[in-house]
Structure 1
Amino acid sequence: MRRPVALRLHAALATLALAAATGAFLVMPEEASAATGGATGYATQNGGTTGGAGGQTVRATTGTAIHAALCGRASSSTPITIEVEGTINHGNTSKVSGGSCSTADGVIELKQISNVTIVGVGSGAVFDQLGIHIRDSRNIIIQNVTVRNVKKSGSPTSNGGDAIGMESNVRNVWVDHVTLEASGGESEGYDGLFDMKDNTQYVTLSYSVLRNSGRGGLIGSSESDTSNGYVTFHHNMYENIDSRAPLLRGGIAHIYNNHYVSLNESGINSRAGARAKVDNNYFKDSKDVLGTFYTDAAGYWQVSGNIFDNVTWSAPGSENKPAGPDPQSNTTVSIPYSYSLDGAACVPDIVRQTAGANKGLRVSDGNCTPQTPSPTPTPTRTPTTSPTPTPTASNPTPGPSQPSGTNLSIGAGSDGSSKADGTSYGNVRDGNMSTYWSPAGSTGSVSIKWGSATTVSKINIREASGSAGAIGSWRVLNADTGAVLTTGSGAGVISFPRTSLQKITFEITGSSGTPRVAEFETYAG
């Protein structure tokens, strides 16, 4: 860390938390309260994110009590809202056993569960040197808490050094009005503040503060971990961060109305085919705030409305490609949800008033004016047993049902990685179920391509007669950029956010027999 900054948390807690505990967002504990307002960004997609809405509400003042609340549910998917007050630390966080949970000592473990809200109330909730770990879970809300000084080395350690970490088939997480902070970088024992890896999708981080850390956070743990994506970052404050604000490896991110101050080495690092839509952010007193850094695996960005205030840029090299000093778009990203943009000039003030824990959950009205949301419960989500997912873009419903609209593959071109004897790439776009393409082995890819940009949001993979069920795991790629649009298993209808591209690839990464794709249909909607 170039500029370690002392943490200043307690001075304002008493007064600010009082506002947060009043009618601004909290109802009486015995009522089935939900987190205030509703999810935003990509967390609204894939069925939405409602957390524990409609379920029981309990109060917890220790980490053990949080685990006990999870373990006391009827099932791992029974909705629950856990209101947290006080300091959660190693001394009061123990493993609790039960059929509806899988917990561990020294970390808040949200593992193989669904439909949970954790919200700070009363005089505030501080997770001190203790991380929150989300694994194999879905439909999670974390709101109005502080997580600080989580270490991966030294003593004590928790959650691999991540303040909030998500991994292994996580879906639909909304993290809102939180403060995530460290007291140094990797050499001092800390890792990331907000990390996502191993197939984590549909996440929003909003109105939060990330500060005093070597690493802000990442999407993807390595250049090969590109199954993550569809993440929104908005109205957050990144302050005194060395790098990873965030680091993107593959996937799509929407980054708007954030305030960045003192990014010491690099900021938004888009690489390995990632695509970032970067709108109306304010960057101040920082270096290399956008680009591809520390790799030759290129990433992409679409920029508009940003302000670069005293930002310096490095000279480009083989493994450093700054977007500046005059950042220009090199891709386009289609956003599937509605949102309102504050003007970049007012972002510092609006973020100062709204971002972080114990701010009364204030939000922007989209016109640079903060407001306190009403305590309107979000709709009840029909529980689903985790980790078995409901049909989604990444786990489609197999079957012969036809999407509506025109099959855009008819009349298009096609190619692929390999083909078995007697098969053809063109067979997947001829409208004939009796012809097909097979890879030369058990895995391979086939693509549909057009002469100009074409908008696609849905494909239908139809297996030839006698081969149903042979297709195992797969990825759908934007072949123009290499970005992963979605992943899953089994043939059928597959949906993903609307994307404009000239070539789309269906890549079979696992199979239980000889894959035979009779038709690779593509649709605009």
Structure 2
Amino acid sequence: MTPTPTPEPSPTPGATDGGFAGYQFALTGGAGGLVYTVNNGNDLRAKLAEAKAGSQPIVVYIDGVITDANSGGQGKDIEIKDQDNVSLIGVADRASFDGIGLHIRRSKNIIVQNLTFHEPWPGQERDAISIEGDDDGSVTGHIWIDHCELYHQLTSDKDYYDGLIDTKAGAYAVTVSYSYLHHAHKTSLHGSSDTDTVPNADRFLTFHHNRFEHLTSRVPLFRHGKGHVYNNYFNEISSTAINSRMGAEILVEKNVFENTQNPVVSFGSSSIGYWNLVDNLMGPGVTWSTGSLDAHAQSGESTSTYTVPYSYTADSTDGLKEYILANAGVGKLDQSGLDIPPPVSAPPVDDGGGEEGEPVASLTLPLSESFTTSTEAFFTASYKSLTGSAGTGTPLYHRVTGSAEIVDGALSLTGARVSVGNSTPTVSTTGSDQQTTGVLPLVADYRVSFKVVSVAGDTSKAFMIYVDNNTASSANSLWGGASKFYSVALNSLVPGQTYQVSGLLASANSFLTLRTESAATIVLDDLVVEAAN
């Protein structure tokens, strides 16, 4: 049976989100209200509360890392609750929610842009972003998530984290665009159960120009409602990608699928869902496990005639993969025209666990790392602190951004930056810095060596090593552009070979940063920093 599309009113032209979030609605977020910049979770909570108390719109620029520790240490998500007209916007590529989630509840007109969310503390929603109404009839709607990066870990148990972006309990009119979702078992669930229909089952969700990679399932999963999934790139999806259930109808249009099992299916509910397939590209590595599915789209035939009510432009699949790889995720937006105020609090200074103001002592070289631990432990001081041994305070290793995991006793980096020995790891370096903040004595000749286990992804891109710079711009260091002292295309590295690199002479209190460009993966082992003589 092919269901009849639900009639919709005529669209409002010019919706900037390209989907349901701005359909027949002035999607403005916090424009025209309070404007602040924050660099920690306590200030973020305080400014959201200030706007809520005064019933004012608010734009909050985030320039730093939001953690549970700097958000009050309560093990609770950052909440936008019973509050409308909010924009959360990351500055450059320096803003992230590290180990803490964002919970949007009973709220409307919300924009979340240019932020990284990873590995939310698994004590509350366990979602990176959770969006919900309420079973009392309250709804949450007109939410736009744009140019964000969200990831968990595939090395953890599949139930340790929940979704990257989940909606439930009447949440509707949501657009997810130009975002990079990767390395998660549970990607994006809409409808918490087959009976999640209160106050209504009208999801109205749009996904466009997103990058979905290294995911297990729910890419996305719809129970009930209507959806539009267009111009996305799917790669390395191991179980199921788009899963339409409980009568949901999805327009699946001009997407590119590669190395994906079961691109469009209905699986796992008491009733199937439906799809309207338009000009999708099934590329290399697409497979189907049809025997275990309730319904599937292997034949390429549509089971619905659903179309969306808003105006939009769908790009051709020719060149779409390359376009999405270049434009989806954080740090891609031109923010030069924004009037971003200074942070309400001075940047935090991490003293590495000593007394306040007490300098951190330098380590003695060589520093050797064999990565014989887990991902969960590696980025903790209990594995290695700034002393080089297990301890307390600041960890020796800090994931700045991207995917960094311990895999089979080696370090895997995908579009990532990992700092080594930085005493203020959550503070971004700048070209105006007057002193260094590390614990590595790099004032005399030294070298960095590492063994290449493997390379993957876009191997035309580079692996780089910086000194006293934890950003993506080589100019953001007191050493200027020279801070990036090593850069090599992955396709020139030979797996199994050990490489030695002469480092830039820096200071007695320096740190290093390992970086891979977006879509580039290197797995390395046996990292050594040692004197060159």
* TM-score, with length taken from structure 1: 0.58
Aligned AA for 1:176?
D
Structure with the largest fraction of strand: 1
1:42 aligns with 2:20: yes
Are residue 148 (structure 1) and residue 121 (structure 2) matched?
A: no
TM-superposed CA distance for 1:70, in Å, is: 1.2
Matched, 1:162 2:127: yes
Counterpart code for 1:179: E
Matched, 1:224 2:187: no
- Which residue does the alignment assign to 1:195? 166
- Aligned partners of 1:316 and 1:322 also within 8 Å: no
Distance 1:76 1:321, change over 3 A: farther
Separation in 2 of the partners of 1:182 and 1:218?
15
Instruction: In structure 2, give the amino acid aligned to 1:115.
Output: N
Contact 2:223 2:248 in 1 (8 A): yes
Aligned with 2:102 (options 129, 132, 142): 132
Aligned 8 A contact 2:52 2:83 in 1: no
Of 311, 316, 324, 2:286 maps to 311
The answer to whether the 8 Å contact 2:194/2:269 transfers is no
Indicate if the aligned counterparts of 1:208 and 1:236 stay in contact, CA closer than 8 A.
yes
Task: Deviation per CA, 1:199-232: give whole Å up to 9, x if none.
Answer: 0000100000000000111110001114241110
Q: Tell me which amino acid in the other structure corresponds to 1:251.
A: G
Alpha-carbon distance, 1:342 to partner: 1.1
Alignment partner, residue 354 of structure 1? 327
Distance 2:256 2:93 in 1: 32
| Change over 3 Å in CA distance of 1:55–1:259 after alignment to 2 | same
Counterpart amino acid of 2:131?
M
Corresponding residue of 1:399: none
- Whole-angstrom distance in 1 between the partners of 2:67 and 2:52: 27
Matches within 5 A, 1:335-354: 335-354=308-327
CA distance in 2, matches of 1:354, 1:373: 17
Counterparts of 1:341-420 in structure 2, within 5 Å, are 341-360=314-333
Supply the RMSD in Å over aligned alpha carbons.
2.2
Q: Contact 1:77–1:115 (CA<8 Å) still a contact in 2?
A: no
> Judging changes above 3 Å, is the alpha-carbon distance between structure 1 residues 197 and 373 closer, same or farther for their aligned structure 2 residues?
farther
Give deviations 1:238-274, integer Å, cap 9, x for gaps: 1011000001000001000000001100000000000
Structure 1 residues 290, 94: closer, same or farther in 2, change over 3 A?
A: same
* Percent of residue pairs bearing the same amino acid type: 34
Partner residue of 1:235? 209
Residue identity opposite 1:358 in structure 2:
G
Change (3 A) 1:76 1:279: farther
Residue equivalent to 2:143: 173
CA contact (8 A) 1:165 1:195 kept: yes
Q: Is the 8 A contact 1:236 1:258 kept in 2?
A: yes
**TM-score, normalised on structure 2?**
0.57
Is it true that 1:262 corresponds to 2:236 in the alignment?
yes
Letter in 2 for 1:312: T
Letter in 2 for 1:192: G
* C-alpha separation in 2, matches of 1:133 and 1:49: 19
Structure 2 CA distance for aligned equivalents of residues 296 and 206 of structure 1? 30
- The alignment partner of 1:311 has SS state of coil
Question: Aligned equivalents of 2:192 and 2:256: distance in 1?
Answer: 27
SS in 2 for 1:64: helix
Further displaced range: 177-186 or 139-148: 177-186
Moved over 2 A (4+): 37-40, 73-77, 184-188, 372-377
- Output the CA distance in 1 between the equivalents of 2:117 and 2:202: 23
Partner of 2:255: 281
User: Which amino acid counterpart does residue 299 of structure 1 have in structure 2?
Assistant: G
65, 70, 73: which one pairs with 2:48? 70
1: CA distance between counterparts of 2:270 and 2:52?
Answer: 50
SS of 1:71's partner is helix
Report the Cα offset of residue 328 of structure 1: 1.0
What is the correspondence of 1:442-461 to structure 2 with a 5 Å cutoff?
Answer: none
The separation in 2 between residues aligned to 1:212 and 1:334, in whole angstroms, is 31
Figure out how many residues of one structure are paired with residues of the other and give that number. 316
Which letter maps to 1:45? Y
Deviation at 1:337, TM superposition (A): 1.2
**1:183 aligned counterpart, secondary structure:** coil
Shift of 1:77: 3.6
Instruction: Trace 1:431-442 onto structure 2 (pairs within 5 A).
Output: none
